[in-house]
């Protein structure tokens, strides 16, 4: 059978999803067109002195998609294959993510084309500080607040916060989130994405009338979010992790995989592949396992028109950004597979980043229990807001989430008098 050809450009997908939501909502043409494009974007060129004495030129981006609901918020990615269309799409999804959670933020995203794995600590610090100098007039605690994303870390956020504070002439901890706790970071930020996803899985099971205790979950991607997901799926939901994978392949065990043993094996060997007591499985095979919950936690566009019909999970929890194409969404909806869309499922990270920003601006810091309790309340409320629209309109869960988010942003634009 020949593969179905789909447009996998991430920004085209983001615009297509918005177009669908606009039709459902009956948005007027001006508002629809306004929301299809970023309000502003900045391209920067960053010279960095390398350890060998040479100077390399790096290209960076920052896209502020929409700020009708407040200062923009979004991560910063350091990746050798970063593209402006990826950043635009992620900025759009951040706009809908902050909106569906009811946060007082708009959406943004940033990127820099580089390979941190090939850079020394000193080179990485000079690049991080150079990025902030290049975009410094574009960001700020009351304008646009970056955070960590792919290949960026709390240490990188610390360098960036320090550089921005030097430029401002005083300490501005709220200009960046995802910082080390010592420099104003929030308790609970490390596992926030996975914990928030688990809260939505719990609520989805309630909605569907499923008992998850002892049921199976497969997790594609065993990076930061995937490891925490394996731990919390067991501890919070009683799920049995039967499969995990990384870029080199995956492993399967019907009896369950101990997340700590898998983590330690990956740290020692560079991959989960070869873990004793498991059999090898491909990333493609993992997606088609007979499990209660499937969690794509790595790459975009892994569920497509070519494999969606073979998915056997009852719930798909999108911890990754953009793992499901629009064509796959239609197939999964027809199969009654309940998809917890990415910008709801993985919103725990930005929610705790919001908590960090609140703590930074108020100078009052919360304990871990308070952070986790408030994260639970936010994620649960957002899930049922989406479930209500899903039920009332009879549309798939992604479009229900879009309707909630887009309507809120559209109303804010009109209330401000922009449209």
Contacts for 113 with CB less than 8 Å, ≥ 6 apart:
58, 59, 60, 79, 80, 81, 82
| Whole-number Å distance between alpha carbons of 388 and 174 | 34
CB 282 within 8 Å of CB 206: no
Residue 345 CB neighbour total at 10 angstroms: 32
**DSSP character string of 140-176:** BTTTEEEEE-TT--HHHHHHHHHHHHHHHTS--GGGS
Set 73, 97, 109, 266: catalytic member: 109
Residue 356, token pair as written in the block: 């960090």
What's the chain's Rg over C-alpha atoms? Answer: 21
Q: Where are the beta strands (DSSP E) in 139-282?
A: 144-148, 216-220, 240-246, 249-252, 279-281
- Helix 84-100 and helix 10-25, axial crossing angle in degrees, nearest 10: 40
- Is residue 109 annotated as part of the catalytic site, yes or no? yes
Q: Mind telling me the catalytic residues? A: 109
């Amino acid at each position: 059978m020949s593969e179905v050809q789909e447009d996998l450009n991430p920004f085209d997908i983001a615009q297509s999803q918005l177009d669908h939501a606009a039709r459902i909502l009956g948005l007027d043409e001006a508002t629809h067109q306004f929301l299809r494009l970023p309000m502003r974007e900045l391209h920067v060129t960053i010279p960095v002195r390398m350890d060998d004495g040479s100077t390399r030129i790096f290209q960076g981006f920052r896209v502020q998609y929409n700020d009708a609901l407040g200062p923009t918020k979004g991560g910063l990615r350091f990746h050798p294959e970063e593209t402006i269309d990826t950043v635009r799409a992620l900025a759009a999804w951040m706009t809908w993510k902050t909106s569906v959670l009811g946060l007082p933020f708009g959406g943004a995203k940033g990127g820099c084309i580089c390979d941190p794995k090939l850079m020394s600590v000193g080179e990485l610090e000079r690049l991080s500080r150079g990025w902030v100098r290049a975009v410094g007039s574009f960001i700020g605690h009351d304008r646009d607040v970056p955070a960590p994303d792919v290949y960026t870390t709390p240490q990188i956020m610390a360098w960036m916060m320090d550089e921005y504070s030097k430029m401002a002439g005083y300490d501005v901890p709220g200009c960046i989130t995802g910082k080390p706790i010592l420099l104003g970071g929030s308790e609970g930020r490390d596992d926030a994405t996975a914990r928030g996803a688990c809260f939505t899985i719990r609520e989805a099971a309630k909605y569907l009338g499923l008992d998850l205790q002892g049921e199976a979950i497969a997790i594609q991607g065993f990076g930061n979010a995937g490891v925490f997901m394996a731990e919390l799926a067991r501890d919070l939901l009683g799920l049995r992790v039967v499969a995990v994978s990384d870029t080199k392949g995956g492993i399967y065990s019907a009896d369950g995989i101990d997340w700590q043993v898998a983590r330690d094996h990956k740290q020692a060997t560079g991959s989960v592949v070869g873990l004793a007591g498991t059999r090898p499985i491909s990333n493609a095979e993992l997606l088609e396992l007979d499990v209660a919950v499937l969690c794509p936690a790595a790459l975009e566009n892994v569920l497509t028109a070519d494999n969606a019909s073979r998915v056997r999970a009852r719930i798909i929890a999108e911890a990754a950004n953009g793992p499901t194409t629009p064509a796959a969404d239609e197939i999964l909806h027809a199969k009654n597979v309940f998809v917890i869309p990415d910008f709801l499922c993985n919103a725990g990270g930005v929610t705790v980043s919001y908590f960090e920003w609140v703590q930074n601006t108020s100078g009052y810091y919360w304990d871990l229990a308070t952070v986790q309790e408030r994260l639970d309340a936010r994620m649960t409320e957002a899930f049922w807001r989406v479930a209500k629209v899903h039920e009332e309109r009879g549309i798939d869960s992604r479009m229900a989430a879009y309707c909630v988010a887009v309507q809120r942003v559209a109303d804010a634009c009109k209330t401000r008098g922009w449209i």
